[in-house]
Amino acid sequence: MKDAFGLPQSLLVLGGTSRIALATARRLVARRTRTVWLAGRPSPALDRAAGELRALGADVRTVDFDALDADSHETALGKVFAEGDIDMVLLAFGVLGDQAHDEREPSAAVRVAQTNYTGAVAAGLVSAQALQAQGHGSLVVLSSVAGERARRGDFIYGSSKAGLDAFAQGLGDALHGTGVHVTVVRPGPVRAGTAAGGRRTPWECTPEEVAAAIELGLRRRAETVWVPGALRVVMSVLRHVPRGMFRRLPLLL
């Protein structure tokens, strides 16, 4: 169960090797989390991630999960929920794609969309149903600031995140009052190991900073978490910049 600060005892990560997710898991294991499920495509990296969290004292298990195989989600995640309550699901899988390449190869673009959007719709709904049945839990969805407004440089990725973001918001409303809470996290560009000085833009952040913001969001039962927090204001301005001007803005984010 979560405690008064929203800290989970059990965590299910969808996208078990995600840097942001692992930074979050490390942080939560240092507090109350004792059980961690890492769902992802089998790989040495996934096993390494499990080993790393085990070394911190958590009971870690991995489970095969492919976002692109939506039909398998119910079985894959059903197995996890059958083992006991999950206090928090962190939906962290996602691919950035290669905009220039994907524009030329639509099937690659579709894979980005299928991973980030349709895959998340399936996994999100399966998780939501299981959480609702247990009457409690947090679903934390890693969206992106790129979903706020489509930009020339990454609109394939951006549009998939826009879809995911809208889906997660709607799901949060649908689950209101069911004991299940949905938090949408919108980080700016995340780079590991960027000290404040070495940042290319003021909006850049580290996985650890996202993790800290998520912990705070859990405590506040926040619906939206921006990382860094100032992006909330910046984006509300950028949203209203006229198209012609927006096109000419340098790719800061």
Ligand X SMILES: NC(=O)c1ccc[n+]([C@@H]2O[C@H](COP(=O)([O-])OP(=O)(O)OC[C@H]3O[C@@H](n4cnc5c(N)ncnc54)[C@H](OP(=O)(O)O)[C@@H]3O)[C@@H](O)[C@H]2O)c1
Cβ atoms of 188 and 207 closer than 8 Å: no
1 binding other proteins? (CB under 8 A): yes
**How does DSSP assign 127-142, residue by residue?**
HHHHHHHHT-EEEEEE
78 binding other proteins? (CB under 8 A): no
Q: Which helix (H) or strand (E) holds 175?
A: none
Cβ atoms of 45 and 232 closer than 8 Å: no
Write down the least CB distance from residue 179 to other proteins, Å.
3
Question: What crossing angle do the helices spanning 73-82 and 119-134 adopt, rounded to 10°?
Answer: 30
Partner that binds at residue 85, options ligand X, other proteins, none, CB closer than 5 to 8 Å by kind: other proteins
Write down the least CB distance from residue 10 to ligand X, Å.
19
Length of the chain: 253
Active site residue 157: yes
Name every residue whose Cβ is closer than 8 Å to that of residue 73 and which is 6 or more positions away in sequence. 65, 122, 123, 126
Q: Between residues 68 and 252, which has the closer beta carbon with respect to ligand X? A: 68
Partner that binds at residue 151, options other proteins, ligand X, none, CB closer than 5 to 8 Å by kind: none
**Which residues contribute to the site for ligand X (CB under 6 A)?**
15-21, 40-41, 43, 45, 65-68, 92-95, 115, 142, 144, 187, 189-190
Q: Which residues participate in catalysis according to the annotation?
A: 157
Residue ranges that bind other proteins, judged by CB under 8 A: 1-7, 9, 31-32, 85, 132-136, 177-180, 219-221
